[in-house]
Amino acid sequence: MLTLTCPTQLRQLEETLRRSLPLALPVLGTVITVARGYLATYEVLVDSWPHFGVVLTRLRPEENRDPRDFYANQVTAFYRDEGAWRALLGGTKAVDWTRAFQIHGEPGTGWGGGLGAAPHPPARAEGAATGMQDGVYEAVQEAADAKGLRLD
């Protein structure tokens, strides 16, 4: 995953995400806020640049103080390539599976999943599939299963 910090890249990403509204809205909001310098505690990651398949926004790891705080540890995701999304979940460290977190994948989602490493507190996913971009919840569920984690 590449972390975008250059204002020009963030603005270019913003323009690209606008063309994918409304599905990209949760990610777009964070990208706009980071690009304007208002949210220094978050970062914007892409699987490749400039032709990305996945955009992920998350709290910077150094700001992620409480491993059980799934309200603070929010991740927003938008993908154009479901295979890239699944590969990201299963084979990268972009998502820290040892911490509780929420994944938001489309406007109107409550939260997409709070995950915790077994045998610690079980993962929670209340109403996770409602309103999410197709495949977001399913990919999270499959990755959690592969890691021996449980979504409640």
Query: Average pLDDT over the chain, rounded to whole?
Result: 81
The answer to whether position 55 is within a domain reads: yes
- pLDDT over 70 at 45, yes or no: yes
Q: How many domains are contained in the chain? A: 1
User: What does the pLDDT read at residue 2?
Assistant: 95
- pLDDT over 90 at 27, yes or no: yes
Tokens of 58: 């998350």
The closest of 41, 79, 45 to 59, measured between CA atoms, is 41
- What are the pLDDT digits (tens) for 69-101? 888 888 899 999 999 999 998 888 888 888 888
The answer to whether position 116 is within a domain reads: no
User: What does the pLDDT read at residue 152?
Assistant: 60
The closest of 15, 50, 51 to 31, measured between CA atoms, is 15
User: What does the pLDDT read at residue 44?
Assistant: 97
Q: What residue numbers bound the domain in which 136 lies?
A: 2-109+130-147
